[in-house]
């Protein structure tokens, strides 16, 4: 019965399209209902409001991509062609790469915060290197296609984002590794002294471990102990102390692969 109904709807869409018209499958009331369900049971304050504009039943375009705590994931994407307005080159050491590479960039506030984090860690005998920070939409397209060709689409989706849905495109995220770079973006980083330091201190500088262990079904990504996301000190401490994800903070709908 469901397949017959779906086929009927598709025929109607095609017929109207040929007549030069368009048919919106979801009306405004349905759109509002979907957004309300995402926030049900949680009070939404000014910091949490208006990050979502309805696009379709699986993806929304964030309405305020410049917001520091913006939620970007498999269901909440950046506007097409988005480029942060305040990108600057970070003043931290990176794994070997061209000094003018875009992956050395972050938004101004996040760049200042990661410098403080690196300096504080170094003062305690813990050394970090940056691996990859900002990533343009063009770069994300190339990177995702590379992973798909190597591992297949479904596997790639567990650790890499479709263009427009990568946190790296916000300029607020950075992958880091230990001082010798041997575990860059690798599972072995999870057992390092550096990873343990981040668990204890990242929030003090406004960062969260964005894809924590045990939250894969919520974030839609495998555990990445090296992926830091800047959200500001107050929010970072709240999220970390509660042991939740950014999705849970916003009471967003469960992420689907």
Task: Count CB-CB contacts under 10 A for residue 3.
Answer: 7
CA 167, chain centre distance (Å): 3
What is the signed CA dihedral for 186, 222, 97, 112, rounded to 10 degrees?
Answer: -120
Q: Shortest CA distance to 133 belongs to which of 167, 85, 99?
A: 167
For residue 212, give Cα distances in angstroms to 89, 124, 130, 157, 239: 27, 24, 19, 17, 11
Q: How far apart are CA 3 and CA 9, in angstroms?
A: 10
137 part of the active site: no
From the candidates 224, 238, 247, 248, which is the catalytic residue?
224
CA end-to-end span of the chain: 26
For residue 143, give Cα distances in angstroms to 5, 77, 79, 218, 234: 39, 17, 19, 23, 33
Token digits of residue 36: 């309300």
Token pair 């040929």 in the structure block, residue: 18
Which residues are catalytically annotated?
Answer: 224
């Amino acid at each position: 019965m469901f397949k017959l109904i779906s086929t009927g709807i598709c025929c109607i869409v095609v017929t109207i399209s040929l007549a030069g018209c368009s048919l919106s499958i979801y009306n405004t009331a349905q759109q509002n209902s979907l957004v309300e369900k995402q926030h049900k049971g949680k009070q939404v304050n000014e910091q949490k409001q208006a990050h979502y504009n309805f696009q379709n039943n699986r993806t929304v375009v964030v309405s305020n991509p410049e917001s520091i705590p913006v939620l970007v994931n498999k269901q909440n994407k950046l506007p097409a062609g988005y480029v942060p307005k305040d990108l600057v080159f970070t003043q931290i050491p990176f794994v070997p790469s061209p000094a003018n590479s875009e992956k050395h960039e972050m938004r101004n506030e996040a760049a200042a915060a990661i410098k403080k984090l690196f300096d504080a860690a170094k003062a305690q005998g813990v050394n970090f290197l940056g691996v990859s920070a900002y990533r343009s939409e063009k770069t994300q397209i190339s990177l995702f296609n590379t992973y798909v060709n190597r591992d297949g689409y479904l596997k790639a989706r567990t650790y890499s984002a479709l263009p427009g849905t990568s946190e790296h495109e916000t300029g607020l995220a950075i992958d880091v590794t230990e001082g010798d770079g041997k575990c860059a973006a690798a599972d072995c980083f999870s057992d390092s002294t550096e990873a343990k330091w981040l668990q204890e201190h990242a929030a003090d500088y406004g960062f969260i471990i964005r894809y924590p262990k045990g939250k894969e079904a919520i974030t839609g990504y495998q555990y990445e102990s090296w992926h830091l996301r800047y959200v500001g000190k107050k929010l970072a401490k709240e999220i970390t102390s509660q042991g939740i994800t950014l999705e849970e903070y916003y009471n967003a709908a469960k992420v689907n692969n």
